[in-house]
């Protein structure tokens, strides 16, 4: 909004300044043309009077001035040169033709030094201009306001166009076209607002898509246990053997347990979006943070005979993040790595400009290249052996991706050239 305020101020002040300057220049030129004709007359009068006084004896100078005032009704006086304080640069102009034009708080006046009586000056006071309002003043004022209005309208045109575009995109999103976005322009007054709108639209699209995937996956996966339950109920009702009834009931209990686990995981993922508005970010020392996470997962790694190797940095790095959710994201990645690694999982830190990268690599078989772009989508499972019956629902990486979105960071995956397995990198911005 700072850019919007600055543009308003510049437009208003700039228009007032430019239009006022143009009108003042026009008026001054007009006044100078009018004044020049009047001043020329007075300069000729003072020149003629000085010539006449130069021929007049000193004793009769004042009488000549009095006669001149009476005949021409012009305020004229004679002064001694010593009584007029002028800088040297102006003193030399007292003898020039037409005299020296000066202005006081009362009115302008002309001075002319007598050549015969060099110690005296003639002073003619010019009349003040009439200050009565003229139609030209109304015209100029109207021109000023009209010009300001035109400039404000020109300033508003791009703003109203961007607002209309924003409204149009919002209407299309409301009609179901979730891929609509406001095209950005570096000349827009409301670019931060447009960025926020596009970010909001992206979050809405992602949330709706996730809910669609969630509903589709849940409706698909719940059919199998429901069918098993129905089969178990019918089989238990048809048999009179107590052992068989108990066996069917136990199987139904197992199916209910899996349904409960599946529903709990799905609902937790569906409700994660609300958690992003309640993050508790705080400064976290990355070395110490990763040391604690690695220590907590040592027992899990030992179950798979995997060695966790954490390489700390010499420099202590600090990032603003939510410890709980970031720990969960890193735990998901390390847990996955221990199950796919052959012998070791490597955790490292790298500092870039305004970014801290946390990498988790393993020496397993890696990820197929054609799957690198989809592994962060919900319910995507690359390993068919990890079935949902064993508690694997394909949400671990999707949760990591969502957590990084909350922190304005990103998660990326590739195959490690050095270790041979998968390499995941969490990039946290440092503000």
pLDDT at 270 over 60: yes
The predicted structure's pLDDT at residue 290: 93
Q: Are 358 and 412 in contact (CB under 8 A)?
A: no
Q: Which CATH architecture has domain 2-125?
A: 2-Layer Sandwich (3.30)
CA distance 219 to 213: 10
Sequence spans of domains, the chain: 2-125, 135-201, 206-274, 277-429
H helices of 73-123, where? 88-91
Q: Which CATH architecture has domain 277-429?
A: 2-Layer Sandwich (3.30)
The predicted structure's pLDDT at residue 131: 46
pLDDT at 388 over 50: no
Q: What is the pLDDT of residues 148-198, one digit of tens each?
A: 777 777 777 888 888 888 888 889 888 888 888 988 888 787 888 888 888
CA distance 346 to 372: 20
Mean pLDDT value of segment 230-244: 84
Mean pLDDT value of segment 15-41: 64
Residue 128: half-sphere exposure toward Cβ, Cα within 13 Å: 7
pLDDT at 391 over 60: no
pTM over 0.85: no
The predicted structure's pLDDT at residue 387: 47
CATH 2.40.370 fits 206-274, yes or no: no
Residue 14: half-sphere exposure toward Cβ, Cα within 13 Å: 11
Mean pLDDT value of segment 82-104: 82
| Token duo for residue 150 | 């035109």
The predicted structure's pLDDT at residue 361: 94
CA distance 378 to 138: 71
The DSSP code sequence of 16-83 is: HHHHHHHHHHHHHHHHHHHHHHHHHHHHHHHHHHHHHHHTS-GGGHHHHHHHHHHHH---EEEEEGGG
Mean pLDDT value of segment 10-37: 63
Q: What is the pLDDT of residues 300-347, one digit of tens each?
A: 899 889 999 999 988 889 999 999 999 999 999 999 899 889 999 999
The predicted structure's pLDDT at residue 190: 81
pLDDT band at 7 (very low <50, low <70, confident <90, very high): low
Q: Which of 202-206, 249-253, 274-278, 413-417 has the lowest average pLDDT?
A: 274-278
State how beta strands 282-285 and 410-415 pair: unpaired
């Amino acid at each position: 909004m700072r850019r919007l305020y600055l543009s308003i101020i510049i437009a208003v002040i700039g228009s007032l300044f430019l239009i006022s300057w143009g009108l003042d220049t026009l008026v001054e030129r007009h006044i100078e043309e009018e004044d020049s004709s009047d001043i020329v007359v007075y300069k000729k009068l003072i020149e003629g009077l000085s010539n006449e006084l130069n021929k007049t004896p000193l004793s009769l100078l004042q009488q000549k001035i009095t006669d001149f005032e009476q005949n021409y009704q012009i305020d004229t006086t004679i002064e001694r040169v010593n009584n007029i304080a002028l800088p040297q640069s102006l003193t030399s102009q007292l003898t020039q033709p037409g005299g020296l034009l000066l202005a006081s708080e009362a009115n302008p006046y002309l001075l002319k030094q007598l050549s015969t009586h060099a110690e005296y000056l003639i002073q003619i006071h010019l009349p003040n201009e009439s200050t009565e309002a003229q139609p030209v003043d109304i015209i100029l004022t109207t021109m000023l306001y009209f010009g300001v209005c035109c400039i404000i309208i020109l300033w508003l045109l791009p703003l109203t166009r961007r607002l209309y575009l924003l409204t149009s995109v919002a209407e299309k999103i409301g009609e179901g076209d979730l891929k609509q976005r406001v095209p950005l322009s570096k000349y827009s007054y409301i670019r931060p607002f447009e960025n926020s709108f596009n970010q909001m639209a992206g979050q809405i699209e992602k949330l709706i898509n996730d809910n669609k995937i969630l509903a589709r996956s849940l409706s698909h996966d719940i059919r199998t246990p429901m069918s098993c339950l129905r089969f178990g109920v019918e089989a238990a009702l048809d048999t009179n053997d107590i052992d068989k009834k108990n066996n069917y009931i136990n199987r139904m209990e197992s199916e209910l347990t899996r349904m409960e686990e599946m529903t709990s995981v799905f609902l937790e993922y569906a409700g994660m979006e609300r958690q992003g508005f309640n993050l508790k970010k705080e400064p976290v020392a990355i070395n110490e943070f990763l040391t604690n996470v690695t220590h907590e997962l040592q027992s899990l790694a030992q179950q798979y005979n995997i060695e966790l190797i954490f390489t700390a940095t010499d420099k202590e790095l600090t990032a603003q993040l939510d410890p709980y959710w970031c720990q969960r994201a890193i735990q998901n990645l390390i847990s996955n790595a221990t199950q796919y690694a052959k012998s070791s999982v490597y955790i490292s830190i790298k500092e870039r400009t305004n970014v801290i990268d946390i990498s988790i690599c393993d020496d397993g078989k890696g990820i197929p290249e054609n799957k690198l772009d989809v592994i962060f989508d919900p319910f995507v499972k690359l390993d068919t052996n990890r079935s949902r019956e064993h508690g694997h629902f394909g949400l671990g990486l999707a949760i990591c991706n969502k957590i990084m979105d909350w922190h304005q960071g990103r998660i990326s995956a590739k195959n490690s050239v050095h270790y041979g397995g998968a390499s995941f990198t969490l990039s946290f911005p440092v503000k």
